[in-house]
Chains A and B, each alone.
Chain A
Amino acid sequence: MEHQTFGGEVTVPHEHNPGAVSKIIRTTVILSVITIVELILGYYIYTLHKNPDFSHNFVLFLKGIIIILSLAKAFYIVSIFMHLGDEIRNLIMTIVVPLLLFIWFIAAFLWDASSWKNLRNEYAPKDPVKHEQHAEPAHEGGLK
């Protein structure tokens, strides 16, 4: 055979290229820098919380950035450290496509959770009978 095979694997030439270590070092630096940025943002949120009338939307925005940075970290770990990026495309797809279920999984559950919270906040403080009596037209707009 023209290829060298190990346990059924045809060895891939890039594995022997001398740039592998510098790729590992570059990925390490990227992961460390992202983590440091996340920590800086985390401390920034912490200092924002000390001010009693901080902007909730701004904190949510910062948290969104931290989540995106973590997803980038996950990409680098899976693609470079676990070498998934070097595998054949069909193999990558059999791993990645099932994980797309997470999009539905996260959206559905968080949506349901926030709906549950809103319903509870809306109805729990009110006695059901009293709620019937107070259903005045002026309140209907507020209920959406």
Chain B
Amino acid sequence: MAQTVPATTKWWNGGKSPFNVEYGKLMMWYFLMSDAFTFGAFLISYGSIRFSSNSWPDPNHVFNAVPFFEGSHLPLVFVSFMTFVLIVSSVTMVLAVHEGHKGNKKGVIKYLFWTIVFGLIFLGSQAWEWTHLHHEGAWWGSNPFPNADGTVASTNFTNYFFTITGFHGFHVLSGVVINLIALLMTSNGVFERRGHYLMIEKVGLYWHFVDLVWVFVFLFFYLV
């Protein structure tokens, strides 16, 4: 076992965590792995149904609306905006973690604040998109969009879309709430007294995971 870790440190001699991570961070990793299987199961189920269908609605004709440009046909525009918002929020999160490493309370507060703002912008965008689709008659069990080949589509498309983006959106919402709690704890000096900002790292892991899932939701619902 010892040959896989640096020779200078005897990780398995006791007194140290062999993985050199705090218990909570390790468990966050395993939780995220299980969550990856949950999302993976959703997306593979969606992929299987789509693969077994002769035709499927064209995302470019379904997701073509942009706020303030109602009635215009602009595929991919709004979802690109949402994707970049989430990427930027991931960057501010990793900067918050970085400030935590330096023990800079003000920096952590600043970047956590911006992460929460971008998270809320994402949630607002998703709420707008859901509302827009709902007005067009799309919901669980109701699909107004025809297949790409012109035939009438089943409700599989909307069922999967609302279930998976809803599940992801709920993760974003919980991420925002968790970030908010971490922000309040930081500004109250909890981590300063504790001497480390490991909690920000764990919160950050969860937030990056939400961005990671969006990469695949964006890919399989909007792009391909």
Show the binding face of A for B, using Cβ within 8 Å.
6-10, 12, 15-16, 20-21, 24, 28, 31-32, 35, 38-39, 41-43, 46, 49, 63, 66-67, 70, 73-74, 77-78, 80-84, 87-91, 94-95, 98-99, 101-102, 105-106, 109-110, 112-114, 116-117, 120-121
Contact = CB atoms under 8 A, between A and B. Distances in A.
B214 to A, nearest CB: 10
Q: Which 6 A-B residue pairs are closest in the complex by CB-CB distance? A: A113-B51, A6-B196, A113-B48, A113-B52, A7-B22, A91-B19
Contact of B47 (A20, A78, A109): A109
Contact of B54 (A15, A99, A117): A117
B94 interface: yes
B9 interface: yes
Nearest to B34: A98
A140 B223 CA distance: 39
Interface of B: 4-5, 9, 11, 16-26, 29-30, 33, 36-37, 40-41, 44-45, 47-54, 58, 60, 75-76, 80, 83-84, 87, 90-91, 93-95, 97-98, 101-102, 148, 195-196, 198, 201, 204-205, 208-209, 211-212, 215-216, 218-219, 222-224
A82 B216 contact: no
A43 B24 CA distance: 43
28 contacts: A6-B196, A6-B198, A8-B17, A8-B22, A20-B98, A24-B94, A38-B219, A41-B223, A46-B60, A46-B76, A66-B223, A67-B219, A67-B224, A74-B215, A77-B90, A80-B94, A81-B211, A82-B205, A91-B19, A91-B21, A91-B29, A94-B19, A99-B33, A102-B40, A110-B47, A110-B51, A113-B48, A117-B54
Contacts of B205: 82
A87 B91 contact: no
A113 B45 CA distance: 10
A81 B92 CA distance: 10
Contacts of A87: 19-21
A88 B5 CA distance: 7
B52 to A, nearest CB: 4
Contact of B215 (A12, A77, A80): A77
Contacts of A83: 97, 201
A6 B24 CA distance: 12
B26 A73 contact: no
B169 to A, nearest CB: 19
Given A35-B83, A46-B60, A74-B212, A28 B51 contact: no
A91 B33 CA distance: 12
